[in-house]
Structure 1
Amino acid sequence: METLLERMRDIVERHAAHFRQETAVPGLTLYRVNQPVPPSHVLYRPRMVVILRGSKTIAAGDAPFLADISTFLLVTVDLPVCAQVFLDHEGRSHLAFSLDIDRAALAEAMAKMPPGGRAAGKPAGVTTAAMTPALLETFARLLDLLDAPGDIPFIAPLVVQEVYYRVLGSRLGDTLRQLALSGSHAAQIQRATQWIRANYAAPMAIDTLAEATGMSVTSFHRHFKAMTLMTPVQYRARLRLQEARRLLLADARSIGAAAAMVGYDSQSQFTRDYKRMFGAPPGVDVARVAGAA
C-alpha cells in the first residue's frame, strides 16, 4: 500500500495549489497543508475523507474522531465540527482528499448490489473504518483521472460507483446505505439538519420539526443525537456561532449586530456561548485570529 500511497501523494502535491483545491472530478476536493494550523470550525456535508500523509481529528459534539493513512472517515449527515489537521512526524505536508456523497449515484450503486451483505452497527452521522487495499486502489484510480481530464466525464462516474460498491460491502455498508433510503432514520435526520441550516436564525419548534420527519418528539430527539452527537438546540447553536464568527471576521460587524443576525436575543448569552465554543469572547477571538493572519 505504501507504493500506492506515494503515487497518490504525488498527484495531490502536483494538483493542489491551495490549502483546499476543488478538482474537475465532481465532488473530489484535494487538501494540502504545509504548516501547522489552529483548529477550524466548519460544516461537513456527507462525504468520505481519505488521509494520505499526516492525520486529522474532528470533534462532533464532544466526541473526537481520528483519521490517518490507515483509516478513512465517513460522514453521512450535515455536521458542524471542529477539525484540526496535523503534519506527519517528519513535518512534511498534510495531504488528503474528500469525495462528496451523491445520493442518486449511491442509490444506483445499491440497486446493482447482490442481495444480502454484511451486517453493520447502528447508523452514524460520522465514523471511521480501516482502509482496505481494494478501496485505496479504487480511490487511486479516481485521483489518476486528474492527469487525464478527457477521461473524467466517462470514467469518473464508474470509479465512484466502485467506491460505493467497496464501502457498501464493508462493515460500514449499512451506515452508508441508510443515507440513500428516503425512509431511513439517517435520511430523516438529514432532512431535519437541512431545515435547521436553512433557518438557523429563526425560532425552532421541535414538535413541528419532529412531525416533518415523521417521528415522535421522543424518537426524533433520540435519533437526532445518535446521528449528530448533539441535540437539535446544540446543533443550531453551533451553526449560529460559526456564522457569527464568519460575520465578525469577514464583514467587521459589531458583536451585537452579529449576535442579532444569527438569531440571538441576548448579547450576553451570545458572548457566553461564543467563548465556550471558540475559547475566548468574540472581541478577543477576532483580534487573535486577525493577528495570526
Structure 2
Amino acid sequence: MEKTQELSEIINRHLAFDGIEPCALPRVKLIRSTTITPAMPTTYEPSLCLVAQGKKHVTLGHLDYVYDASQYLVASVDLPLQGSIIEASEECPYFCISLDLNVTVLSELMLEHGTGASATTSKPGIALSTVTPDLMDAAVRLLRLLDTPDDIPALAPLVEREILYRLLHGEQSEMMRHIANAESRLSQVSRAIVWIKDHYAEPFSIERLAREAGMSSSSLHEHFKAVTTYSPLQYRTRLRLQEARRIMVSDALDAASAGFKVGYESPSQFSRDYVRVFGAPPMQDAQRLRANPGFAMA
C-alpha cells in the first residue's frame, strides 16, 4: 500500500488535470481521471499498464478485463479495445502509468539471461497478472526520477530495463518471449497489424497481408484471430471506424466525408458498420461524444 500511495502522489504532482499525458520519462505516459468514464474505443500499443489507484475495465472482442492496483495489464500488439474507468472520484482519482514496451531491450534481456525461445502457440494479445513487490518498487523508482529530471538520462534506462526484466521473469514470461522473438507467431501477427495500420484505408487481399507477415493465409487467419479476437478484415474495419469516429469528433467532419477518408466507398455501408459496432448512427454518436468530457479518457 505504501508504494501504490507513493506512485499516486507522484502522478498527482506531475499531472494536475484529468487526461493522458507523456512525461519526461521516455515511453511513459501518466493517466489521471476524477470521474468514471463510459466505454470508449481506444487502441492499446504494446505496453505495460500499472494502476496506482482506482479501477479500469477493458474489452477485447468478447473478452473482458478488469484491473486495479493489485494487477498489471500487458498488451503485446496494437489492439482495438473498448475502455472505461469504473472507479474514480474527486477524492480518490484514478491514477495509472503506461510504459511502452522496448522490444529491443526485451530481446537483449532474453538473450542475456537465457530465457529461451518462445512457444509457437498464439493467445490473446492482452493479459492480466498480479503485481509483485519488485515490479511495483521498480515502477516507483522510475517515477521518482520525475522529481530529479537531471537524473533521467542516466538512470531511467536502467530502471526501465529492470521493469522489463521483471516482466520477462514474471507470470507473463511466455508473452514477453513472444514479443522479443522476431520469429514467433506473435511477431508475425504484429507485422501484419503494423501493415494494416499503414494501409487500412486501401483495399488489400489476405494473400498480400500473409506475404507481409511471412505466413500462409490459413495460418495468418488462425493466429491473427487468436491474438486479436478479430479476423484481419474485421480488424481493419475496427481501425477504419475508430479513426472515422475520432475525426468526426475532433475535426467536425460529416459522416460521408469521414467514411470516404478511412476507405469506405459506400456511405450506407459505413453507416451500417458504424451502427453495428458503436450502437448509434455516426453523426448522432459524434455529437454525443463531443458533449462528453470523458471521451479522451478511454
Q: TM-score category by the smaller chain?
A: over 0.9
Letter in 1 for 2:126: V
- Unaligned segments of structure 2, at least 5 residues: 294-298
Change (3 A) 1:222 1:144: same
- For residues 32-83 of structure 1, the C-alpha deviation after alignment (integer angstroms, 9 at most, x for no partner) is 1012222221111100001111111111122111111110000010111111
Task: Give secondary structure in 2 for the equivalent of 1:84.
Answer: strand
Is this contact kept in 2: 1:55–1:87, CA < 8 A? yes
Letter in 2 for 1:29: K
The within-5 A match list for 1:49-128 is 49-88=49-88, 92-115=92-115, 122-128=122-128
Cα RMSD, aligned residues only:
2.0
Bigger Cα displacement from structure 2, 115-124 vs 182-191:
115-124
Q: Distance in 2 between matches of 1:124 and 1:292?
A: 31
Change (3 A) 1:91 1:82: farther
The equivalent residue for 2:296 is none
The within-5 A match list for 1:1-293 is 2-18=1-17, 19-88=19-88, 92-115=92-115, 122-293=122-293
Q: Distance in 1 between matches of 2:4 and 2:120?
A: 28
Task: Give secondary structure in 2 for the equivalent of 1:292.
Answer: coil
- For residues 159-195 of structure 1, the C-alpha deviation after alignment (integer angstroms, 9 at most, x for no partner) is 1111111111112111011112111111111110011
Change (3 A) 1:268 1:120: closer
Q: Distance in 2 between matches of 1:116 and 1:230?
A: 29
Structure 1 length as normaliser, TM-score? 0.94
Q: Distance in 1 between matches of 2:61 and 2:189?
A: 16
Q: Determine which structure has greater relative contact order: mean sequence separation of CA pairs < 8 Å that are 6+ residues apart, divided by chain length.
A: 2
Letter in 2 for 1:63: L
Bigger Cα displacement from structure 2, 122-131 vs 51-60:
122-131
Following TM superposition, by how much is the alpha carbon of 1:121 offset from its aligned partner in structure 2, in angstroms?
7.9
Give aligned pairs, total.
292
Is this contact kept in 2: 1:120–1:171, CA < 8 A? no
Following TM superposition, by how much is the alpha carbon of 1:13 offset from its aligned partner in structure 2, in angstroms?
0.6
- Unaligned segments of structure 1, at least 5 residues: none
Change (3 A) 1:206 1:115: closer
Q: State percent identity of aligned pairs.
A: 38
Is this contact kept in 1: 2:122–2:223, CA < 8 A? no
